[in-house]
């Protein structure tokens, strides 16, 4: 698909820390949607989970290091800079006001987040401002609640390129390349005194060591010694 500037794609999360699974998914989305870039949006204070393991500015800094060599990925700090609670609905409202009513806006989320969508603030109103692109593992068949299934069936499309025909209002499931890595796994490896190389970019691991995040207390491992 030929890249187009007339499209905004958002992949939000705590990125605590950003890892190669996040980055690979974002690159695949960029290519599948024909977008010039995907915005990675770090959350300041997630409403649906406990406090992150690293401060917001540290998570933003790690994201910026991770994407600096990939032109199709960018960091959007809208939720860190906003003087409000970190609700997705508010973020979409602000972005829609910024880009106008015609440009397609795509909010990307994982299947776990989608299954929990009914607990989100103003969840039915999300589609007033954007599409939802839900990433799922190959072969995984989720079980929706009756209310979520009705919501999905009323708005679903089968192909990602169908999201480009409208500015908002549709839901599409996107089958992603599975990478068995999670932020929890990375944090556990680091806190146990082990090396998370190949799970996170080298620049992110360097930053974690230099700033002693996630329980790291040892001496920094030089790249030549890895």
The residue ranges of DSSP E strands in the chain, in sequence order, are: 8-13, 38-42, 73-75, 105-110, 131-136, 171-175
Q: Closest Cα partner for 184 from 53, 27, 66?
A: 53
Crossing angle of helices 202-211 and 56-67, in 10° steps, is 150
Q: Closest Cα partner for 94 from 161, 8, 197, 30?
A: 8
Per-residue pLDDT reduced to its tens digit, 50-68 = 788 999 999 999 999 999 9
- pLDDT greater than 50 at residue 225: no
Per-residue pLDDT reduced to its tens digit, 168-200 = 999 999 988 878 899 999 999 999 999 999 999
Q: Which domains does the chain have, with CATH numbers?
A: 8-175 (3.40.50.620), 183-217 (no CATH)
Per-residue pLDDT reduced to its tens digit, 100-144 = 999 999 999 999 999 999 999 999 999 999 999 999 888 788 899
pLDDT at 48: 60
């Amino acid at each position: 698909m030929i890249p187009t500037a007339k499209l905004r794609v958002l992949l939000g999360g705590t990125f605590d820390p950003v890892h190669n699974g996040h980055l690979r998914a974002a690159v695949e989305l960029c290519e599948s949607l024909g977008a010039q870039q995907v915005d990675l949006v770090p959350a300041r204070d997630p409403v649906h989970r406990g406090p992150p393991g690293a401060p917001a500015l540290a998570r933003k800094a790690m994201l910026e290091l991770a994407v600096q060599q990939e032109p199709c990925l960018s960091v959007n700090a809208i939720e860190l800079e906003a003087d409000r609670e970190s609700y997705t609905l508010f973020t979409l409202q602000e972005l829609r006001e910024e880009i106008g009513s015609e440009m397609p806006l795509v909010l990307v989320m994982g299947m776990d987040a989608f299954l929990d969508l009914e607990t989100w603030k103003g969840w039915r109103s999300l589609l007033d401002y954007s599409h939802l692109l839900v990433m799922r593992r190959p072969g995984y068949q989720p079980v929706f609640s009756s209310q979520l299934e009705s919501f999905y069936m009323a708005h679903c499309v089968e192909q990602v390129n169908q999201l480009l025909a409208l500015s908002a209002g549709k839901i599409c499931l996107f089958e992603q390349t599975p990478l068995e890595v999670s932020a929890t796994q990375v944090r556990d490896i680091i806190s146990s005194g082990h090396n998370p190389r190949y799970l996170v970019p080298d620049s992110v691991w360097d930053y974690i060591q230099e700033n002693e995040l996630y329980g790291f207390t040892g001496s920094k491992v030089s790249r030549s010694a890895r």
